[in-house]
Chain A
């Protein structure tokens, strides 16, 4: 446990010693604000909810989370510090989990900073704060799933741009598999069972429940298993590099 905390702490601090973290936070908050209030027609909806806010998250995260995750391993490999880290008395899985957690906490911070949205709906109307809380839990898990995928693609290459693009492609699949226009298109030629199976792999399908205020064990299991699988794959990839 100790090494995990030590590495996670270093990663978090490293985030904030460069201006990248602050730029990210500002862009994230500007974009959530823009999508919620302008593109999401927050005021015209006439309902006291954050549906307009959460609805955009699978798309917004598609670009922003890989930007956080891309450097996690690629940078470590490029600068040669991977050798330093893995010759310390630290098990590789501890380093993988620590680095993931540090970035996840950073994304949590970004999410916490969207609190003015909660304040706004509560001032203007009388929303169900339980639904909002569930939405935040779902959004956090969604970010975690994308982040784990980004960690995995980051381990594949020492080039951060390549890691970013790979991650966006994989996450895009996770979104599109359950995106209504896509599933509608699929029903024309595929059996409903196949469409449902493909959609079950999508983050959108599993994020829906949280947006409606339902925390379903199946959705939790889905997100946690995406994270678990991607981190396991990260371990396999890193072991592959070391084996030569």
Chain B
């Protein structure tokens, strides 16, 4: 549904987006990760046709955004950064306005508004003007606007920013549910969201893609992945170091595999060693790897890396 080829955007001498290419198909939820200022919002603005790219191509459902913007925009629902909406309008007025701009009239419009109001839990605030709403409701109102025409493509710029944990949970569930038959791209810098909602994630840094894969694949890039953490009475680092590099964690030991591809054997080896030595095990975990460690490692400048 979404095809992006060698997208470049320069602001003066700065290359905000520097040759990004990826594609998103129906049924995929792509998490767009990166530190602040990495080029996430700029990329999304080019995908939605708000900004023309300096170079490269974006096609939505076969329509080139630069050449046939109206056809491409019809397929997209967009939740901009900070969920901008007209503060002087009522929720109903705003949603009807969005529906009309999307070409919905009469009973179709009424149906569409009713559907998104239910979906985004806005029943209680329909008559309220948007500037009197709490941040969570404002956000959901803008999200409702993006869903009003049941778009095939949904682009969301930090959809959970500023929401409380319950609301975050709701929005993530909504994204996952919508992702079954839409192509979704959403940006975030909250890593747990990748696990909660994405089928695939892209990490960008300084305008370039630095990692692209399923949450599992990204996690496997972590140093920690495959390591075994053991807390056992009588255990000592000397014996354990025969199995791999050992880190002392104040009462527990973490053993890193020498060879990542044989990580599965490590746990087995540790179990055998423990039973041979007769140590009393209090706890033992096989680490999956942590996304934020991967994120930090690939997005921090070399000088800051430990």
Q: Which residues of A contact B (CB under 8 A)?
A: 2-3, 6-7, 10, 13-14, 17-18, 79-81, 83-84, 86-91, 242-244
Contacts and interface: CB of A to CB of B under 8 A. Distances in A.
Given A6-B97, A18-B88, A87-B76, A242 B102 contact: no
14 contacts: A2-B103, A3-B101, A10-B86, A17-B89, A80-B82, A83-B80, A84-B142, A87-B76, A88-B101, A89-B103, A242-B50, A243-B51, A244-B9, A244-B10
Contacts of A3: 101
B51 A89 contact: no
A239 to B, nearest CB: 8
Given A84-B78, A88-B101, A89-B102, A79 B50 contact: no
A145 B82 CA distance: 35
A18 B98 CA distance: 21
A91 B68 CA distance: 11
A134 B73 CA distance: 44
B43 interface: no
Contacts, number: 73
Contacts of B16: 244
Given A14-B86, A242-B50, A87 B102 contact: no
A84 B80 CA distance: 7
Given A83-B45, A88-B98, 6 more contacts: A2-B100, A83-B81, A89-B70, A89-B101, A244-B10, A244-B11
B52 interface: yes
Interface of B: 9-11, 16, 45, 48-52, 69-70, 73-74, 76, 78, 80-82, 84-89, 93, 97-98, 100-103, 129, 142, 145
A79 B84 contact: yes
Q: Is the interface of B mostly helix, strand, loop or mixed?
A: mixed
A244 B12 CA distance: 8
Contact of B84 (A2, A7, A83, A242): A83
Contacts of B82: 80
Given A87-B48, A243-B51, A243-B52, A80 B100 contact: no
B50 A86 contact: yes
A60 B110 CA distance: 44
A8 B298 CA distance: 48
Contacts of B51: 242-244
Nearest to A17: B88
A235 to B, nearest CB: 14
B50 A7 contact: no
A90 B100 CA distance: 11
B158 to A, nearest CB: 13
